Structure 1
Amino acid sequence: MDVFSDVIATVRAGRAKFTRSRLSGRWGYAFGPYPGAGFHVVLEGNCWLIPPSGSPIALGAGDVVFLPHGAVHGMSDSPDRTIAELPLAPESGPPDHEPAPGQAQLLCGAYRLDRGQAHPFLRTLPEVVHLPARLGDHSALRSAVDLLGADLIEARPGAAAAVPALMDLLLVYLLRAWLEEEASHHGPRGGWCVALTDPVIATALQHIHRAPEHPWTVQELAAEAGMSKTAFARRFTSLVGQSPMAYLTWWRLSSGARMLRDSQAPLSAIARNVGYTSEFAFSNAFKREFGTAPGKFRRQQRDSTDAVASIR
C-alpha cells in the first residue's frame, strides 16, 4: 500500500453515511459539526454552499465539495442565507421536495473519523475543498460522480453495494484532484502536497508505512533516501511538520489503533507488529496518544460498531 492510500484509510472508518435529496423552491439546511469529514455532490441543478467563513460558493451539476474537518456549513437555494438561520438537516438528510423546474439533486454524506487517527495531511486541508465540474481535466473524478448519479437517480439493481464503493472512489479521486490543482496553480509551496511526491521524503515515508515494526533510526532513513542525516531530518521536518521519529511514533500508534478496531489480534501481537518490544511499552505510548488504554479503546470501538449495527 502506498502512502496516499494510507492517508485515505484514515478517513474511511467504517462505511460512509450518505443521503440523496431532491430540493426545489425555497430551501436551505445547516450541516455539522461532524466528527469526521463531510461532502456534497451536486447531481443536478444549482445551489449554494454557505461556508463556515467567507462568501457563499455557487455550485452546479457535477461539482464536488469536501469538508475534511466536519465544519458547520449550510446548503441553500440562495446565497442570501446565513448558517444560523438555516434549520439543521435531519439525520436522514434533507427531505425530498415535490419535483419542480429548477430543482437541485444532492448527494450529502460524511465519513466518521476516530479521534486522533486522522492523517496529518488531512489536517492541512482547508475547511472547504471545492472542485467544480468545469475545473481541469479530472476525468476519473467526473466518472465517479456520473456513476454515482446514475445509480442514485435510477435506483439500479445492486446500488446498495455499488454506491458505498463508488463513494470510496470519489474520495480518492477528490483528494488526488485537489493535490493536482494545488501543484498546478500554486507550485511547490511545501508541506504535505510536496512530501507525498518528493522522491526523498516519499521514499522515507514508504519505508515507515511498509515496515513500522522495523527499528528505524534517522540515520537509516536518511541512508535509504540518499541524504545526509542532518539534511534529511531538516527536509523531512519542514515538509511533514514532524521530525522523522515523531512521525514514526504517530504512524505506529495509529496503525495499532486500526488493528485494535479491525481485528481480534492479542495486544502483544499488535505491539510487535507496530514496533514495540513489549505490550507494556505499547500500552503506555498508546495511552499518551489516545488518552485511553488499548483494551478500553477496543471495547469502545466494538460498542460503537454494535450500536450502529443495531440502528440499521
Structure 2
Amino acid sequence: MDLISEAIRSMRIGFAGARLVRQTSPGGLRFSAFDGSGFHIVTYGACWLISHDDPVPLRPGDIVLTSYGAEHGLSEAPCALRDLPLVEMGPHPPATGPSSFEFLCGAYWLDSGHAPQYLRALPALIAVSPDYDRNPEMRSLVDLLAATVATAEPGAAVTRRALLDLILVQVLRQWHEEDASRWPEAAHPGIAAALREIHENPHRQWTVDRLSEVARMRRTAFSRLFTTVVGQAPIGYLTGWRLSRAAELLRETDAPLASIAPRVGYSTEFALSAAFRREYGVSPGRFRRAATGQLEDRTFYR
C-alpha cells in the first residue's frame, strides 16, 4: 500500500483553496479547528507555531501540515494559543503595509463530516524544513502556488488543486523519510497487514477475528495494539475508511448508491445511507449535490 497516495487521495473528498496571508499587526493569529486538512508555508520572516504543546520556531520555507484541522496559531513570539486573535473569515486579499511574516495557506475543506480517517491517524500538526537546494522541485511548486493565488486567470483553480496535491506529497514524503517509524503501519507488521487489507479491500466482510488472523495475532492482543497504534478500534477504523471511500466515489463518480454500497462493504444502499448520515450528518445524495455544486476555489477561511 502506498501510504502517501492513500493520504492524498483521502483529502480529495473536500474542496481545495489557497491564499496568501501577511501579518501586518503586532502579535499573530489563531486558526480555529476545522473539518479538513491544510498547510502553511512560511514565505517571509520568522514566526512560531503555537498549539497546546511547546511552541515551534519556523523560518522562511518551513511548512506546517494540519493533518485533520486542529486548532493552532502563528505568532511573532511564543505565547499561549488563547491569547492570539482568531483569523478574520472571508475571502480577504493580503493586508497591505509592512509585515512581520507572510505565509501561503492551502487546504482541503469538508462541508460535512470531518477529516478523512487515514489522516486522523497522523499527528495533528507536522512541521518540516524542506531542503530546497536538494529538492528544487519543491521550490518550484511553492513559487507556482504563490503565483496562482495572485491570479484569477481561467484554469487557476484546477492548477491550485494540483499544486496542493504535489506539495502535500512532498511534505509527507519528507516526514516519512526522516523517520519511517512515525507512520502507524511501521509499529508492527501485523498492524500493517491489517491496515493494508482494510484499505485495499473495504468490501470484504471484516470482523475483528478475521483481521486478527491477517495480522497473525490473538484477537485481544491485536485489538489492543491496533487501538494503541492507530488511535481507534479496528471496526471503528474500518467503518470510517469505508465511508471515506464512499464519499470519494460520490464526489468523483456518478455511480449510483446501489453500486457504491457493495464496493465499500455494505449489503444495501439503505445500510450505507444510514451509516453515511451518522458519519457526515447528511444523506449521500445531499453530499453529492453539494460536492458537485461547490466552487473548487473557495477560500481556506470562511
CA RMSD of aligned residues (A): 4.0
- Equivalent of 2:120 in 114, 120, 123: 123
Q: Residues 27-38 of structure 1 correspond to what in structure 2 (within 5 A)?
A: 28-38=28-38
Aligned equivalents of 1:247, 1:15: Cα separation in 2: 23
152-161 vs 162-171, which moves further: 152-161
Residues 42, 81 of structure 1: alpha-carbon distance in 2 compared, 3 angstrom cutoff: same
Letter in 2 for 1:63: D
State the partner residue of 1:47: 46
Q: Cα offset for 1:40?
A: 1.0
Aligned equivalents of 2:81, 2:230: Cα separation in 1: 36
Aligned equivalents of 2:93, 2:27: Cα separation in 1: 10
Larger radius of gyration: 1
* Cα shift readout 1:181-212 (whole Å, capped 9, x = no counterpart): 455xxxx5xxx734256432222222222222
Q: Is structure 2 residue 105 aligned with structure 1 residue 112?
A: no
Q: Is structure 2 residue 168 aligned with structure 1 residue 171?
A: yes
Letter in 2 for 1:297: P
Q: Residues 144-183 of structure 1 correspond to what in structure 2 (within 5 A)?
A: 144=138, 146-152=139-145, 160=156, 161-181=158-178, 183=180
* Cα shift readout 1:242-283 (whole Å, capped 9, x = no counterpart): 443443333223322322333322221111212222233333
Unaligned runs of at least 5 residues, structure 2: none
* Cα shift readout 1:211-259 (whole Å, capped 9, x = no counterpart): 2212234454444444455554444344234443443333223322322
Residues 3, 51 of structure 1: alpha-carbon distance in 2 compared, 3 angstrom cutoff: same
Aligned equivalents of 1:10, 1:310: Cα separation in 2: 18
Report if aligned partners of 2:10, 2:118 keep a CA contact under 8 Å in 1. Answer: no
Q: Is structure 2 residue 91 aligned with structure 1 residue 92?
A: yes
* Cα shift readout 1:36-74 (whole Å, capped 9, x = no counterpart): 22321012x323135243555432111011223434444
Letter in 2 for 1:123: R
Aligned equivalents of 1:115, 1:76: Cα separation in 2: 30
State the partner residue of 1:280: 270
Letter in 2 for 1:256: A
Aligned equivalents of 1:166, 1:249: Cα separation in 2: 30
State the partner residue of 1:240: 230
Aligned equivalents of 1:220, 1:278: Cα separation in 2: 22
Aligned equivalents of 1:307, 1:158: Cα separation in 2: 17
- Equivalent of 2:248 in 228, 251, 258: 258
Percent of aligned positions with the same letter in both sequences? 37
2:46 is paired with a residue of what secondary structure? strand
TM-score scaled by length of structure 1: 0.73
Residues 289, 170 of structure 1: alpha-carbon distance in 2 compared, 3 angstrom cutoff: same
Aligned equivalents of 2:122, 2:296: Cα separation in 1: 31
Letter in 2 for 1:6: E
Report if aligned partners of 2:47, 2:101 keep a CA contact under 8 Å in 1. Answer: no
State the partner residue of 2:191: 201
Report if aligned partners of 2:251, 2:291 keep a CA contact under 8 Å in 1. Answer: no
Residues 65, 107 of structure 1: alpha-carbon distance in 2 compared, 3 angstrom cutoff: same
233-242 vs 199-208, which moves further: 233-242
How many pairs align?
Answer: 295
Unaligned runs of at least 5 residues, structure 1: none
Aligned equivalents of 1:114, 1:249: Cα separation in 2: 20
268-277 vs 223-232, which moves further: 223-232
Residues 85, 119 of structure 1: alpha-carbon distance in 2 compared, 3 angstrom cutoff: closer
Higher relative contact order (CA 8 A, sep 6+): 2
Residues 30, 225 of structure 1: alpha-carbon distance in 2 compared, 3 angstrom cutoff: closer
